[in-house]
């Protein structure tokens, strides 16, 4: 017998208070296996996958940049200046790599609404997450081929995604 029972205090009372607490617990915790409550997790996973793909692409571009730098002829006494077209190609590729890295940063820092938008929100919140997930799907579809034009399309999709989220927050 515990010390509390000695004073007539029930350790685990079975009364209205427990029923209310159980009701609150059920109201706050949600079945996370339900697909609509996994939208946020899928969004985060998708962003991590896109980041990984862009990281591999960046590494490939850096390898190409290294090859390009090695292919530029070394200056000699007869020709002390390297070819300008080679230097321009290196500069353009470096700028493109920086652009891809900036897009990668945008993908990782893309806003993902908190769980409360679905757990305790309205159907409008659920629709927002579905719309954001659809835009993320467009992002993955655009990444099927990696070209400078694709990177610009990805940038536009990310911009549109951010506007969608901002329009919801400001409403």
Q: What is the DSSP string of 90-154?
A: HHHHHHHHHHHHHHHHHHHT-----THHHHS--HHHHHHHHHHHHHHHHHHHHTTS--HHHHHHH
- Residue 23 inside a domain? The answer is no
pTM above 0.75, yes or no: no
pLDDT in the model for residue 105:
93
Domain ranges, residue 157? 32-170
Residue 40 lies in a domain: yes
pLDDT digits (tens, 9 = 90+) for 87-115: 888 899 999 999 999 999 999 888 877 76
Task: Assess if residue 159 is contained within a domain.
Answer: yes
In a domain? residue 10: no
Number of domains in the chain: 1
Average pLDDT per consecutive 10 residues, the chain (171 residues; last block may be shorter): 46 50 52 62 83 89 90 83 84 93 92 67 71 85 84 93 82 60
Would you call 29 exposed, middle or buried from its count of C-beta atoms within 10 A (0-12, 13-18, 19+)? Answer: exposed
C-alpha distance from residue 27 to each of 16, 75, 120 (Å): 16, 74, 9
The angle, 0 to 180 degrees and rounded to 10, between the axes of the packed helices 39-71 and 123-142 is 20
- Residue 96 is assigned to a structural domain of this protein: yes
């Amino acid at each position: 017998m515990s010390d509390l029972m000695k004073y007539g205090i029930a350790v685990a009372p079975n009364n209205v208070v427990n029923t209310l607490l159980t009701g609150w617990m059920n109201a706050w915790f949600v079945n996370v296996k339900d697909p609509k409550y996994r939208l946020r997790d899928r969004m985060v996973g998708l962003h991590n996958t896109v980041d990984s793909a862009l990281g591999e692409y960046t590494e490939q571009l850096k390898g190409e940049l290294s090859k390009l730098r090695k292919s530029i002829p070394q200056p000699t006494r007869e020709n002390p200046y390297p070819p300008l077209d080679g230097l321009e190609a290196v500069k353009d590729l470096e700028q493109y790599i920086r652009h891809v890295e900036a897009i990668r940063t945008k993908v990782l820092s893309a806003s993902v609404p908190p769980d409360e938008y679905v757990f305790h929100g309205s159907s409008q919140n659920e629709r927002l997450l579905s719309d954001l997930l659809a835009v993320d799907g467009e992002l993955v579809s655009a990444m099927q081929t990696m070209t400078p034009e694709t990177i610009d399309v990805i940038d536009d999709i990310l911009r549109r995604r951010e506007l969608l989220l901002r329009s919801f927050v400001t409403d």
